[in-house]
Amino acid sequence: MENRVCKLFGIKYPIIQGGMVWCSGWKLASAVSKAGGLGLIGAGSMHPNNLRHHIRSCRDALEGKLPFGVNVPLLYPQIEEIIEIIVEEKVPIVFTSAGSPKKWTSHLQKHGVVVAHVVSSSLFARKCEEAGVDAVVAEGFEAGGHLGREETTTFCLIPQVSETISVPLIAAGGVASRASYNAAFALGAHGVQIGTRFALCEESSAHPSFKEYCRGLSEGGTKVLLKKIGATRMACNPFCEKVEEAEQSGVGPEQLKELLGSGRSKKGILEGDLIEGELEIGQITSMISKAETARQIIQDLVSS
Amino acid sequence: MENRVCKLFGIKYPIIQGGMVWCSGWKLASAVSKAGGLGLIGAGSMHPNNLRHHIRSCRDALEGKLPFGVNVPLLYPQIEEIIEIIVEEKVPIVFTSAGSPKKWTSHLQKHGVVVAHVVSSSLFARKCEEAGVDAVVAEGFEAGGHLGREETTTFCLIPQVSETISVPLIAAGGVASRASYNAAFALGAHGVQIGTRFALCEESSAHPSFKEYCRGLSEGGTKVLLKKIGATRMACNPFCEKVEEAEQSGVGPEQLKELLGSGRSKKGILEGDLIEGELEIGQITSMISKAETARQIIQDLVSS
């Protein structure tokens, strides 16, 4: 029986590469799609014109023969322009996140786009299904970057979402090894979305210092902070310690926003500033220690 | 091939019932052992003489034919007396937690006791193996009650511990459904320890109001608080809100200890005070909604 996620996206293996800020441009997305998974361009860290460039470069790299997609955080300031570019460029697949799936799903589908939406609870998974999405990504507390408020872990979340929806379910958060790949299916998922391991691979556009630092982290090397303004998992570093200290002393949202400032994740992930940057990465980074290509990752996961 | 956990403990199914404060006396422990799992008496909430009574009652209920064990938090004030009773009463199996496995493991083993120790990281799993334990329980962030500092989830923890140790590995935290039971083995465990689902079953000595309240919780219905004095997962209720508010305003450990006072978990779990009590329970409580017996739980998990 054909896997539902493979069938929906026209891919060989039910492995999606998460569309991550500062990591997933056309190089990573096309490498993943070439290796049999689904590569996603992360629009969250791109100006609209830059996104257009990445879409065209990705299609060229795939010689128009293999599917790829774009991840769009719906709270993006220039969201209308982003959606327009996606439609104009005939992007076949879009993963939306951070916003209501009601707003853009049917518009994209009318233009032939397959739409998946990322959630962190069964309640929002049901809302996705009501909005007509083609697939749901359920992401657990162990994931890197922005997280849901409820802190539901992948192990608790997937079986509950699986009982809630009938469209294909993609598990995210903590998937990095063959063991966790297999366990995701046992929990009820039809496919997986992998962020951290791809963020640290060769084709990722993250800074080499960021990759090396994250590959060197041990268990407990990440923390979830900034809960008062939007919970975010990041690697422990001086910036992270500064935020933690402020939080423990009870500072409010305004002071936290000021402390965060703007461009922190760019500074950390793209520019490799390990002191002042915000290093968004998932908890499972402690299992990743070596440099590898996107193809090697996929081959490792699907080898029995 | 025989399951390693079944072989070690002499049980039919590789299912351990967590030894939980105020829930797991001889009634629950013997019901689980009779149904083919391993029942544990939770010594953490018992005076030494009360523990002796529970051990004898459990053995009587099992007619001396089936194994059972005792869970011992090693930071217990009368720990020497507790260990003495366990040895005198010839308890066959002990699960230790909250302390160093070096202190008591060999002493217990010399008296014929099989020893497992509960950890929340690979680092401590290795220390357990060095201390000579017979099995390791690795417990993830989704579990109820006291938690490790590092917040590593079951989905991230089990594959890492599995690569670290060679003694049998028991997965804990979030295991409650057939899907998660199967996933735990896929992650690399040889057995599971289940707390929450057994805490809410008929033979648990928790108060009926506590059980009903927890069975009614939705996703996001638990929180991890008290990190400054010992992270604890509890159900959201007025006491929980009070603690959260205090923490967000930045109060220190001393004030938190004062706010917690003593006997909070007894008040909540045993006495059923849903307003002022601390209701320790795991995240997966949102998947449990009906009253059931220990035997029904085990039969549900092992039915294919």
Q: What is the C-alpha to C-alpha distance for residues A217 and A222, in angstroms, rounded to an integer? A: 8
- Supply the DSSP string of chain B, one letter for each residue: ---HHHHHHT-SSSEEE---TTT-SHHHHHHHHHTTSB-EEEGGG--HHHHHHHHHHHHHHTTTTS--EEEEETT-TTHHHHHHHHHHTT-SEEEEESS-TTTTHHHHHHTT-EEEEEESSHHHHHHHHHTT-SEEEEE-TTSSEE--TT---HHHHHHHHHHH--S-EEEESS--SHHHHHHHHHHT-SEEEE-HHHHTSTT--S-HHHHHHHHT--TT-EEEE-TTT--EEEE-SHHHHHHHHHHHTT--HHHHHHHH-SSHHIIIIIS--TTTS--B--GGGGG--S---HHHHHHHHH--
pLDDT at A1 over 70: no
Report the gap between the CA of A145 and the closest CA in chain B (Å). 16
Q: What is the C-alpha to C-alpha distance for residues B71 and B40, in angstroms, rounded to an integer? A: 6
* Whether the Cβ atoms of residue A192 and residue A175 lie closer than 8 Å to each other: yes
* Whether the Cβ atoms of residue A15 and residue A197 lie closer than 8 Å to each other: no
Q: What is the C-alpha to C-alpha distance for residues B139 and B172, in angstroms, rounded to an integer? A: 4
A interface residues, B as partner, C-beta within 8 Å: 121-123, 140-142, 149-160, 162, 173-174, 177, 179-180, 182-188, 218-220, 223-224, 228, 248-251, 283-284, 286-287
Which of B180, B249, B251 is the closest to A187 by Cβ? B180
pLDDT at B131 over 70: yes
Report the gap between the CA of B68 and the closest CA in chain A (Å). 28
Q: What is the C-alpha to C-alpha distance for residues A279 and A285, in angstroms, rounded to an integer? A: 12
> What CATH homologous superfamily does A4-205+290-302 map to?
Aldolase class I (3.20.20.70)
Q: What average pLDDT does range B240-251 have in this prediction?
A: 96
* Whether the Cβ atoms of residue B120 and residue B138 lie closer than 8 Å to each other: yes
Q: What average pLDDT does range B68-76 have in this prediction?
A: 96
Q: Give domain limits for chain B.
A: 4-205+290-302, 208-285
At A47, the amino acid letter reads H
Which of A149, A158, A188 is the closest to B220 by Cβ? A149
Which of B186, B248, B286 is the closest to A183 by Cβ? B186
**Interior angle at CA B172, CA B171 and CA B178, nearest 5:** 80
Instruction: Write the CB contacts of A84 (distance below 8 Å, at least 6 apart in sequence).
Output: none
Q: Which of B221, B246, B234, B245 is nearest to B273 (CA)?
A: B234
Q: What is the pLDDT of residues B4-53, one digit of tens each?
A: 999 999 999 999 999 999 999 999 999 999 999 999 999 999 999 999 99
* Whether the Cβ atoms of residue B82 and residue B48 lie closer than 8 Å to each other: yes
Residue B177 has a pLDDT of 97
Inter-CA distances, A294 with A30, A31, A197, A298, B216, Å: 10, 6, 9, 6, 44
The predicted complex's ipTM stands at 0.97
Report the gap between the CA of A205 and the closest CA in chain B (Å). 25
Which of A140, A162, A182 is the closest to B153 by Cβ? A140
Q: Which of B167, B175, B196, B182 is nearest to B5 (CA)?
A: B167
Cβ B142–A160 below 8 Å, yes or no? no
* Whether the Cβ atoms of residue A87 and residue A108 lie closer than 8 Å to each other: yes
Q: What average pLDDT does range B261-281 have in this prediction?
A: 97
Cβ neighbours around A254 below 10 Å, total:
10
Cβ B287–A160 below 8 Å, yes or no? yes
pLDDT at B1 over 70: no
B interface residues, A as partner, C-beta within 8 Å: 121-123, 140-142, 149-160, 162, 173-174, 177, 179-180, 182-188, 218-220, 223-224, 228, 248-251, 283-284, 286-287
Provide the mean pLDDT of chain B.
97
Per the listing, tokens 């799609």 go with A33
pLDDT at A295 over 80: yes
* Residues pairing with B93 in the sheet: B69, B114
Report the gap between the CA of A180 and the closest CA in chain B (Å). 6
Report strand pairing: B232-235 vs B145-146.
Answer: antiparallel
Residue A2 has a pLDDT of 86
* Residues pairing with B232 in the sheet: B146, B225
pLDDT at B280 over 80: yes
Contacts of B245 in chain A (CB under 8 A): none
Q: What per-residue string of b and e applies to B10-43 under the rule 16 or more CB within 10 Å gives b?
A: ebbbbbbbbbbbbbbbbbbbbbbbbbbbbbbbbb
Cβ A153–B159 below 8 Å, yes or no? no
* Whether the Cβ atoms of residue A172 and residue A117 lie closer than 8 Å to each other: no
At B175, the amino acid letter reads V
Provide, rounded to the nearest whole percent, the portion of chain B with pLDDT above 90: 98
Contacts of B151 in chain A (CB under 8 A): 220, 223-224, 283
Q: Which of B283, B277, B257, B256 is nearest to B265 (CA)?
A: B277
Residue A304 has a pLDDT of 72
Cβ A150–B186 below 8 Å, yes or no? no
pTM above 0.95, yes or no: yes
Q: What is the pLDDT of residues A270-284, one digit of tens each?
A: 999 999 999 999 999
Q: What average pLDDT does range B262-274 have in this prediction?
A: 97
Residue B2 has a pLDDT of 86
Which of A159, A179, A250 is the closest to B186 by Cβ? A179
Q: Which of A120, A136, A56, A117 is nearest to A88 (CA)?
A: A56
Q: What is the C-alpha to C-alpha distance for residues A155 and A157, in angstroms, rounded to an integer? A: 6
Cβ B183–A179 below 8 Å, yes or no? no
pLDDT at B304 over 90: no
